[in-house]
Structure 1
Amino acid sequence: MAEPDAELAEQWALVNTPLGEVWSGRTRYAAAMYFHKRGDMSAETLEVYRICARLDAEDPLPIIRDRGVGKEWLSKMEERKLR
């Protein structure tokens, strides 16, 4: 069964919740778990989101880049920005 586009769009919005908002780190982590479960995100990338979950102002993307993990995820995030 195909996944509803609305669910996917909502999860993209959640994983891109603005930095610094209360509970935004946890929101991004929850959405990251969704993408990991779909196979769109590696366990190493998900771990960065987990570490950042309680740090609402921390951007996980530079950490992912610094660790050299999640290149596919970074490409997807960049691709979404360009839309």
Structure 2
Amino acid sequence: MNDAEFAEQWQLVNTPLGEEWSGRARYAAAMWFHKRGDMDAETLEVYRICSRLDSADPLPIIRDRGVGEHWLKRMEEGKRG
């Protein structure tokens, strides 16, 4: 794994809410994390749903759906690796 690429994707998946195109940036990064096995399909689907809604926070939706427990823990702890 390339540390620089990981850092870039981590930054993108944490793009602040409300910035123009931020939902799409978070979704693109989520696809990257899904592809490497860090995120399940149900969690990725939430990022897809939120991709056109720049102000929508996917994390509460993931929690409400009862999916992505590992991903939520990782995000809440701010884990990069």
TM-score range, shorter chain: over 0.9
2:34 aligns to what? 36
SS of residue paired to 2:78? helix
Secondary structure, counterpart of 1:32 in structure 2: helix
d(CA) in 2 for partners of 1:31, 1:13: 9
- More relative contact order, 1 or 2 (CA 8 Å, 6+ apart): 2
Q: Does 1:62 align with 2:60?
A: yes
Distance 1:42 1:35 in 2: 9
Cα RMSD after superposing both structures: 0.8
Percent identical residues: 80
Cα drift, residue 4 of structure 1: 1.1
- Radius of gyration: which is bigger? 1
Q: Return the offset for 1:16.
A: 0.3
1:18 aligns with 2:16: yes
Q: Aligned equivalents of 2:54 and 2:2: distance in 1?
A: 29
The runs of at least 4 aligned residues of structure 1 exceeding 3 Å deviation read none
Q: Please, what TM-score do these two structures have when normalized by structure 1?
A: 0.93
Give the superposition deviation at 1:78: 1.2
Q: How many residues end up aligned between the 2 structures?
A: 79
2:73 to 50, 72, 75: 75
SS at match of 2:38: coil
CA distance in 1, matches of 2:77, 2:35: 20
